[in-house]
Amino acid sequence: MVSFTAREVRDILISMFVIAVIFAYIFSRGLLTNGTEIFLNNFILLIPALLVSVGLGFVLHELAHKFVAVRYGFYAEFRMWVEGLIFALFTAFILGFVFVAPGAVYIHGTNISKEENGKISIAGPLVNIALALLFLSLIPFIPHSPTDIVGYELRVIVTYGFIINSILAVFNLIPLGPFDGAKVLNWNPVIWILIFIVAIILAVKAYFGIY
């Protein structure tokens, strides 16, 4: 049975909030030329929407690793990387780009087989692909009225939910070093290729526009 410690819940909530703040700033900073008030209004409006679309994308990715690891009988716990979040804040607010490493799921156990490691690793990117497809399917149903705040929030959720989850899937499937892709490739190259192609297609669609 999957359980969460108080520390783990705290780390998850803090990670989600910091991620939402970072992306809200990145997506709003272009409005600074229009005045501080316009920037702040947009920044504040974006945070709750990005908590759903982007924050969940990062956290559910990690929790997917946890759920699969627990299913195999291992103890797994999400832990926030304070240094990673501080670095993400620095790159966003000082350098103007995003590099987010909010934390990771630590798995305690011995004799993890290549197959188990591969399936635990692929769970995260699969969640991001599933979320990207879900958000993409919802885009045509979101209203576009510029004066509708609820519609604006929903549009932010589905649009950035699709874009960020597509990018996360590709990024984590890179078959190098500590990335999930390296472990998946080591377990089953065919599955890695198929999933990576799907992620690339979604990321390309996100890059070139979704409307």
The identity of residue 64, as a single letter, is A
SS3 category, 177? coil
Per the annotation, the verdict on 77 as an active-site residue is no
The β-bridge partners of 103 are 80
Which tokens sit at 2?
């999957």
Positive/negative CA dihedral, 199, 160, 81, 78: negative
Among 8, 37, 62, 153, the active-site one is 62
Task: Classify each residue of 37-62 as buried b or exposed e, where b means 16 or more C-beta atoms within 10 Å of its C-beta.
Answer: eebeebbebbbebbbbbbbbbbbbbb
Which tokens sit at 184?
């998946």
CA angle centred on 133, ends 188 and 46, rounded to 5°: 120
Task: Cite the active site residues.
Answer: 62
